[in-house]
Amino acid sequence: MDEISRIFGTIGRERSDSYSTQSTGSKLLLRHRLHVVTWNVATADPPDDVTSLLHLNSPKSPDLYVIGLQEVYSGPLRFVSDTVFDDRWSRLFMSTLASRKYIKVSSIRLQGLLLLFFSKLEHVPFIRDIQATYTRTGIFGYWGNKGGVSIRLSFYGHTLCFLNCHLAAHMKYASERVDEFEYIMDTQTFECKKAPTIVDHRLVFWFGDLNFRIEDHGMHFVRSCINDQKYNLLWSKDQLTIMKKKEQILQEFDEGPLDFQPTYKFDLNSDTYDSSGKKRKPAWTDRILWRLRPKASFPDEQDGNGEYPLKIRQDSYTSIMEYSISDHKPVVGIFTLELRKMYTTPLVRLQPEGDWSADIDSMVLYSPLQPFPSSTWDWIGLYEVGFTSVSDYITYTWVKDDEVAFNEEVIQVYVGKEEIPVRGAECVLCYYSNTLQCIIGISEPFKVGNKHIPIHLFALNGI
């Protein structure tokens, strides 16, 4: 036991410091960038390149990506496959973002509705209490062609909720769309004392194919305003704008100006609005809104200066016109979140003991830096650097089952050599909390060596 403390003794010293940091959090308001995408993909397969959609060439990379899709293909064969494995859209975003050190933290799918949440790796141990749920509204609630899917979580102690909706179609159903939204808001609940419903969250993002149309104006006037980029002449007849004046729940949500052309309905593989016999009138069906919980609701959460510890600014709100695989254009909102971190150290610190390879059994050393609800289902995963999601591990070990030694500050967990990959790689260790449904600690990268191959095996193989 003394040897364990000697090897990993720095954790004990860090632990005492972290308690004081945890109790006070960070006094500074720090900025984090959030990139939100909504796109009705009309059952199309994903494009080859999503650089523009994700602004991958931007000098300021986001800390978080939230991607909401509607009408992802969900035919019987594809849907059965996708319920077990990630769908093609998810795989595209995961592979694209993994090389930039993002991982998929959470996702949820309801038929054609898909919601993905990605984070830079450095933030992952501070994203906790993750839950996802859904509400069906299509065909009397029995089929998932319409409805809402949501992911809620705590980001550095601040409760956030992301709601992706696909509401009822057609011009005449504006009131029904509001009813569906209210139903989704009322029925979605979470096992979280601080935020058991959507409106209890400090910050809510509501986005998707909300299907609100442009009333009264004729086709010629609408298209003329679009061609002349006089979008403001259409705002007063936008159904969502109209309904916000009538409905209290909508008045609590903010939205940036619609300074981009309507995103529906286009001919496929073109930038031409609907030229079919139906000639549907263009509309801003695809929207991104947000709601910051009023200060008065929870005055005890203000800091010593009376300032709310979370602020939001929208930096960009636009459509991406270059994508033409769908009759909708994607919409992107970029936000800056300015927040005071409620905690600044992970719940667990961990590292490999000694050198790792498939030639020898190995040990993981970890230390809790803060009390948390541990479980017999907690596990530590070995991941190759550049992994795409929590489930993209090389191998894992159950924390309680494979625990071999511990003291007050350091716990040692066994990993058998047969579990370690033969081929060497740059890896990290992650501690996954089953209760919190998230990664609560990540090691520094380390090298797993190649398995030693005896000389006589080279001779047998003619090498």
pLDDT, tens digit, 9 for 90 and up, residues 327-377: 999 999 999 999 999 999 999 999 999 999 999 999 999 999 999 999 999
pLDDT at 17: 33
Digit-coded pLDDT (tens) for 158-193: 999 999 999 999 999 999 999 999 999 999 999 999
Task: Indicate the burial class of 458 (C-beta count within 10 angstroms; 0-12, 13-18, 19 or more).
Answer: exposed
Same domain for 39 and 52, yes or no, is yes
Residue 82 reports pLDDT greater than 90: no
Q: Is the pTM of this model over 0.75?
A: yes
Residue 145 reports pLDDT greater than 90: no
Report yes or no on 291 lying in a domain: yes
Task: In whole angstroms, give the CA distance from residue 167 to residue 146.
Answer: 6
User: Which of 378 and 402 is assigned the larger pLDDT?
Assistant: 378
Report yes or no on 455 lying in a domain: no
Same domain for 228 and 103, yes or no, is yes
Same domain for 267 and 372, yes or no, is no
Q: Which residues pair with 351 in a beta bridge?
A: 365
| Structural domain for 87, as ranges | 27-340
Work out the pLDDT band at 6, boundaries 50, 70, 90: very low
Identity of residue 373: P
Report yes or no on 459 lying in a domain: no
Same domain for 305 and 381, yes or no, is no
Into how many domains does the chain fold?
2
Report yes or no on 146 lying in a domain: yes
pLDDT at 405: 76
Same domain for 51 and 177, yes or no, is yes
CATH of the domain at 293: 3.60.10.10
pLDDT at 271: 96
pLDDT at 29: 84
Residue 110 reports pLDDT greater than 90: yes
Task: Indicate the burial class of 437 (C-beta count within 10 angstroms; 0-12, 13-18, 19 or more).
Answer: middle
Same domain for 361 and 237, yes or no, is no
Report yes or no on 217 lying in a domain: yes
pLDDT (average), residues 21-32: 66
Please check whether residue 388 is in contact with residue 103, taking contact to mean a CB–CB distance below 8 angstroms: yes
Same domain for 36 and 158, yes or no, is yes
Report yes or no on 463 lying in a domain: no
Same domain for 353 and 334, yes or no, is no
Q: Please name the residue that has the structure tokens 């305003």.
A: 225
Angle CA(432)–CA(132)–CA(145) in degrees, nearest 5? Answer: 140
Last residue of a domain, one of 286, 317, 340: 340
Report yes or no on 460 lying in a domain: no
Please check whether residue 153 is in contact with residue 130, taking contact to mean a CB–CB distance below 8 angstroms: yes
Digit-coded pLDDT (tens) for 192-219: 999 999 999 999 999 999 999 999 999 9
Report yes or no on 456 lying in a domain: no
Same domain for 420 and 291, yes or no, is no
Q: Which residues pair with 64 in a beta bridge?
A: 34, 119
* Backbone conformation region of residue 418, classed left if phi is above 0, alpha if psi is from -120 to 50, else beta: alpha
Q: Using DSSP, how many helices (H) and how many strands (E) does the chain show?
A: 10, 21
Same domain for 126 and 41, yes or no, is yes
* Backbone conformation region of residue 249, classed left if phi is above 0, alpha if psi is from -120 to 50, else beta: alpha
- 3-state class (DSSP) for residue 145: strand
Last residue of a domain, one of 284, 307, 340: 340
Same domain for 158 and 265, yes or no, is yes
Last residue of a domain, one of 309, 340, 371: 340
Same domain for 234 and 355, yes or no, is no
